[in-house]
Amino acid sequence: MNRDNINLKGMDYMFKKAYTEEAVKEVASKYAMDVFGKKFDDEITVYRVTPRTMFSKFDYILMNSKNMPGSTITLRRGSKEDVSCDYMEVYYREMHIRPMVEDYFRNLWGDICIIFNCADHAYGPVNPNLTLDEFMKKTGVSFDILVKEEDFEKSGKDLYEKEVLRFMEEAKEKGWKYNRITVGVYDNIPSEKVNGTEQFKIKWEDTCKQLEYADFFLSENGLIEHKEWTLTAK
């Protein structure tokens, strides 16, 4: 049996007809708890259901996690053979990759802010047995680093370029994919955790202006490339 599909067996209630939003929430919550909640000692609750339409063959079910507050877990439900959930991707991003990345760059640069691209994954089969190594080799993550203007001017762009490239080269040796890292220079940076780009726009975009930025990314041919610094606003 394909381990990616192991949790579909015995989960027929997930695909029974549910004619109300509350009924969908109930079966989706039970499914998520049976598959992920018990294994990771988590509490998962549904807060929104977007039913399929004539333009989409999927239901999108948005959930909260006790272990990962502020992050959205998305369950996408189509046919019985076409159900996916990004719990594992969010779990590894928030519980493993984010702390490691934040520690690494704060030790180098001090007061910075890391914002992950929360949509940086493709929907795939439900797989509660996915390992961190598998996730980082197959999917990987992207994130922005927000740097203070005064720190950037003091240290110089060469320092930031060198240390991001070194970080990506070390990851590449393990086969881990940091698809894109953007270093942005800002006149102000958030004083609280920001879980993703949408949350940043809502809370901080009006008071935290980007002055310039540079992209570092892993190309399709496996090379690490760097786009030159670009001025934005002043």
**pLDDT attached to residue 211:** 95
Q: Tokens 């894109």: give the residue.
A: 180
Q: Which amino acid is at 28?
A: A
Q: Region of 188 please: left (phi>0), alpha (psi -120 to 50) or beta.
A: beta
**pLDDT attached to residue 81:** 66
Global pTM? 0.87
Q: How far apart are CA 40 and CA 218, in angstroms?
A: 31
Q: Tokens 């958030």: give the residue.
A: 190
Using CB atoms within 10 Å of the CB of residue 61, give its burial: 0 to 12 exposed, 13 to 18 middle, 19+ buried. Answer: buried
**pLDDT attached to residue 2:** 45
pLDDT tens over the chain, length 234 residues = 344 444 544 456 565 655 578 888 888 899 999 999 999 999 999 999 988 776 778 888 999 999 999 999 999 887 766 788 999 999 999 999 999 999 999 999 999 999 998 777 766 778 899 999 999 999 999 999 999 999 999 999 999 999 999 999 999 999 999 999 999 999 999 888 888 888 898 899 889 999 999 999 998 888 999 999 999 865
Q: Select from 54, 58, 56, 34 the least CA-distant residue to 44.
A: 34
Report which DSSP code applies to 56. Answer: B
Q: Select from 190, 220, 221, 195 the least CA-distant residue to 205.
A: 190
Q: How far apart are CA 22 and CA 28, in angstroms?
A: 10
Which alpha helices (DSSP H) does the chain contain, by range?
21-32, 87-92, 98-109, 132-138, 149-155, 157-174, 197-203
Q: How far apart are CA 50 and CA 58, in angstroms?
A: 9
**pLDDT attached to residue 4:** 47
Q: Select from 74, 27, 60, 64 the least CA-distant residue to 44.
A: 64
